Amino acid sequence: MVEKEFSDKELGKIIIRENVRARRIVLRTRPEALYITVPRGAEMKEVHTAIEKFRVKLLHSKKKVERKQINLDYKIDAEFFKLSLVSGKQNNFLAHSELGETKIICPPTADFEDEELQAWLRKVIEEALRKNAKIILPSLIYGLSKQHKLPYESLKINSSQGRWGSCSSSKNINLSYYLLLLPSHLVDYVLLHELAHTKEMNHSDKFWAILDQLTQGKSMELRGALKNHTTDF
C-alpha cells in the first residue's frame, strides 16, 4: 500500500501514504484532506481503527482548518451574541461592545489574509464572548435553578472547546462561554442538563427521566440538535 484515497462521510477526503521510515500511524488534518502516514506493511484494518479512535478529535481539527475567514463579510448572529466587522477611516482596529453585541471597526488597509491578524481577531471575539457570558449565563442558570428548585454551589465560566458544561459531585457547575453561540433553546438545554446533574451525577435512565421532566419530554430531541453545533466559530 503506497498511496490510497477514499472518502469518509464526516471527515471527507482521506489520503493514506506509506512511509518506510514511519514507526506508527500519524494523522494530519489539512484543509483539502485528512492525511494518514503509515509504516510499511500496515493493514487497512489498523488505519480504520486509528480513525475511529481519534474521530472526535479529527472532526474538531477539521472544523478548525476549515474556519471561515474573518473579514468584512463575517458575522455572528446568535440570539445572545452578535458580531460584525465594518470598515472605518482610522489607522487602527477599534472594538465597540454592548451587552450581546460587538462591532469591530477595521482600518481600510486591513489585510484579512494575514494569519496573525486572523489569530488576533479570534482573540478579540473570544474575549467579547467571555465578557458577555459572565453577565448572561449566571442570570440564566440562576433563573432556571430557582424555577425548578435545583440549587447549585458555584458557577464558573471557562473557555472549554471540548464540552459545553460540566457539574461536579459538589454541585459546582462550569459553563463554556461558547454557549453564547447556540440558539437560546439549546442554551437552556445545556443549563438544565447540568442542573439535572445536581440530583443525578451519571447519565443513567434516572438522569434522563429527570431531564425529560425539565424539557417537556424533549431531552433526546434537544440532545440530537446540540450535536449539530460545535464550540467554535
Mean pLDDT of the chain: 92
Task: Please give the average per-residue pLDDT across 53-76, as a whole number.
Answer: 86
Among the ranges given (88-92, 104-108, 157-161, 204-208), the one the predictor scored with the smallest mean pLDDT: 157-161
pLDDT band at 36 (very low <50, low <70, confident <90, very high): very high
- Residue 141, helix vs strand vs coil: helix
- In this prediction, residue 64 carries a pLDDT of 72
**pLDDT computed for residue 125 by the predictor:** 95
Do 165 and 218 meet the contact criterion of CB atoms below 8 Å apart?
Answer: no
Give all domains of the chain, ordered by start, each with its CATH number: 3-65 (no CATH), 75-125 (no CATH), 133-226 (3.30.2010.10)
Confidence check: pLDDT of 180 > 60 = yes
| E-only strand ranges, the chain | 3-8, 12-18, 26-29, 34-38, 75-77, 82-87, 94-98, 101-106, 154-158, 165-167, 172-176
Residue that the C-alpha cell 481519534 belongs to:
54
Cα 105 to Cα 92: distance, rounded to the nearest angstrom: 8
Residue 33, pLDDT score: 85
Q: For a pLDDT cut of 90, what percent of the chain falls above it?
A: 72
Between helices 219-226 and 184-196, what is the axis angle to 10°?
A: 120
Region 17-35: mean pLDDT is 87
Cell numbers 518506510: residue: 20
Question: What is the rounded average pLDDT of the residues 214-228?
Answer: 93
- Any bridge partners for residue 98, and if so which? 101
Q: What does pTM read for this prediction?
A: 0.73
The two most distant CA atoms of the chain are separated, in Å, by 63
Higher local confidence (pLDDT), 171 or 30? 171
Residue type, 150: L
- Give the up-direction half-sphere exposure of residue 223: CA atoms within 13 A in the CB hemisphere: 10
User: What CA–CA distance (Å, rounded) separates 38 from 155?
Assistant: 45
pLDDT the model gives residue 92: 95
